[in-house]
Structure 1
């Protein structure tokens, strides 16, 4: 077996706003395995400025991984503990190589096209008019769950957007999730949570910045509606540390991005601990290309979590890879007749 890696820059169709700034492009890396004339591919979905493995030696570690591919998936996963996106790329590449076709990793009713995955409709940060336009489009498209990124524009305007949804749709008709990406200050967080609670929201992701565990623990105890940890999980590598974090903060939910938490194996560790301590969870993608998104969606279906998942990001880019994933009426489908517009031998 030989392995090599390849860098790829994904270009956003339009600048996409988060509380950490506006994204115009997204760097990703692919690991390709070759054995007996067959190829497999995995995506290492690093997100600069957020991933735990955003380090100067990232490419050096990719080269080391390819040079040591003979160690096998499990041994490499252990050796790459501080590089969760490469852990995921390796898991994906080995699965791809051993599968009947490179992109059919977890055959199921989902990949057969007979069942779908419910997803949330993501509304990106931006000017009020742009956010309102996105909300109207998502509702018209039949989404039952909307996720708004907040924290970038005036808070009163964000409250107006939530009011607009609630004036037209009850909580039974449309579930609203908000994601603050750590934008609230420690002194204002509870006040803002109380204001938001009037709109009967499902949950808020990461209201304050990570590593304020005492404050986050206190917020989770007194919050008027559920809090979900997201960034807080990044960089927590051992099972012991994961359980310690959950026991200290006691969140209502955790949100799991396989590219950030060590792929399928790392995500499953979090799920096992969450269920042990009666904490809800769901899976989201992390701006991967359709190669990574495909792997995440197929695996997510096997988990049988009925909650809306955060998986509909494949259409953000101008130069993504055409694939069988299709969003329709708030559901993610796998349409095999669409097939892949990608030849792995081009890598």
Structure 2
């Protein structure tokens, strides 16, 4: 058994705005395992400035992982606790290696093209005109759940955009989620939560910055708009710490990005703790290429995740891996009549 890793710079079709700045490219790495005539493929993706494993020795750890691939997925997962995205890539690659089809990790009605996964339509930050244009496109494309990133422009303008949606579609027709990426101060967040409640917003992700457990707890206790933790989960790798965080803050929801929280195993630890406390959850990709998105989507379907998931990012890049994943009428489909285009021998990326 031998493993290699290969870097790929994903290029955005259009620069995408977040509360941390404008994204034009995104780094990712593929782990390829070969064992006889079988091949397994996994993806290790980070977001600079956000991922717990965004550190100078990242590629050095990838080299170590490939050199020690014989240790197997369980032992490697334990030894890669500080590198959650590599944990996920290793899990993915071994499942791919063992599968009959290296791209079908969790066979189901989803991979047989008999069922689909409901997803939210993502509206990126930008000026008012651009954001309104995206909202209209998502609604015309048949999405019944819109997720809008907020905190980039004046909040009154963002409220106006949310009112625009509600003017045409009430909460029974269109679910609206917002994502603040920790962009508000505590006092401002309390005002924002009240304003959002008047518009029947489903939830707000990470209204204040991470690490303020007591302040976040207060917000979750008194909020009229449900709160979902996202960035707050990053870097919390110990199960006891996960339980402690959820017991103290008691959010209404948590959002799981496998590349950020230790892959399938790390995510399922969070799910177990959340469900024990009656906390809801959903799954979101973290701008992976179609290799990682495919692995997340199949697992999400296997989990029987409820409600729209955050898996609509596959069409953002000019140089993504060609895959059978398609978004139609607000849902992600696996069209098994289409082929993958991923040459593991040359990896001309």
TM bracket (short chain): over 0.9
Q: Which residue of structure 2 lines up, in the alignment, with residue 229 of structure 1?
A: 229
Per the TM alignment, residue 346 of structure 1 is displaced from its structure 2 partner at its CA by 2.0
**Counterpart in 1 of 2:145?**
145
Partner residue, 2:303? 303
Residue 263 (structure 2) pairs with residue 263 (structure 1): yes
Question: What is the CA-CA distance between 1:129 and the residue it aligns to?
Answer: 0.5
Q: 1:3-22 alignment to 2 at 5 Å?
A: 3-22=3-22
Q: CA deviation at 1:22?
A: 0.3
TM-score scaled by length of structure 1: 0.99
Partner of 1:59 in structure 2?
59
TM-score by length of 2: 0.98
Is residue 40 of structure 2 the alignment partner of residue 40 of structure 1?
A: yes
How far apart are 1:191 and its partner, in Å? 1.1
Give the structure 2 partner of residue 130 of structure 1: 130
- Between Structure 1 and Structure 2, how many residues are aligned? 347
Q: Deviations over 1:198-256 (max 9, x none)?
A: 11000000000000111001000001110000000000001000000000100000000
In structure 2, C-alpha distance between the alignment counterparts of 1:140 and 1:73, rounded to whole Å: 43
Superposition deviation, residue 39 in structure 1:
1.4
Q: In structure 1, how many angstroms separate the alpha carbons of the residues matched to 2:115 and 2:188? A: 43
Q: Secondary structure at the match of 1:316?
A: coil
Once the 2 structures are TM-superposed, how far is the Cα of residue 306 of structure 1 from its aligned partner? Answer: 2.4
Instruction: Note if 1:242 corresponds to 2:235.
Output: no
Mapped pair 1:173 → 2:187: no
Give the 3-state SS of the residue equivalent to 2:294 in structure 1.
helix
Instruction: For 2:306 and 2:204, locate their aligned partners in 1 and report how far apart those are by CA, in whole Å.
Output: 19
Q: Distance in 1 between matches of 2:226 and 2:344?
A: 43
Contact 1:39-1:345 within 8 A present in 2 as well: no
Q: Which stretch of structure 1 is more off in the superposition, 93-102 or 309-318?
A: 93-102
| CA distance, structure 2, for counterparts of residue 172 and residue 305 of structure 1 | 21
Q: Which SS does the other structure have where 2:224 is aligned?
A: coil
Distance 1:321 1:30 in 2: 11
> Structure 2: where are the runs of 5+ without partners?
none
- How much has 1:132 moved relative to structure 2? 0.4
1-structure distance, mates of 2:309, 2:346: 32
RMSD: 0.7
Q: Does 1:85 align with 2:77?
A: no
CA–CA separation in structure 2 for the residues paired with 1:297 and 1:346? 26
* 2:78 counterpart SS class: helix
2:82 is aligned with 1:70: no
Could you tell me which residue of structure 2 aligns to residue 199 of structure 1?
199
Measure how far apart 1:283 and its partner are. Answer: 0.2
Give CA deviations for 1:286-340 in whole Å, capped at 9, x if unaligned: 0000000000000100111221000010000000011111111001111011111
Written as runs of structure 1 = structure 2, the 5 A alignment for 1:284-303 is 284-303=284-303
- Give 1:73 shift: 0.4
Unaligned runs of 5+ in 1: none
Query: For each residue in 1:246-274, what CA deviation from the matched residue of structure 2 results, as whole angstroms up to 9, or x when unmatched?
Result: 00100000000000000011101011111
Do 2:282 and 2:306's aligned partners in 1 also have CA atoms closer than 8 Å? Answer: no
2:107: which partner in 1?
Answer: 107
What is the CA–CA distance in structure 1 between the aligned matches of 2:291 and 2:305, rounded to whole Å? 22
Alpha-carbon distance in 1 for matches of 2:73, 2:335: 29
2:189 is matched with: 189
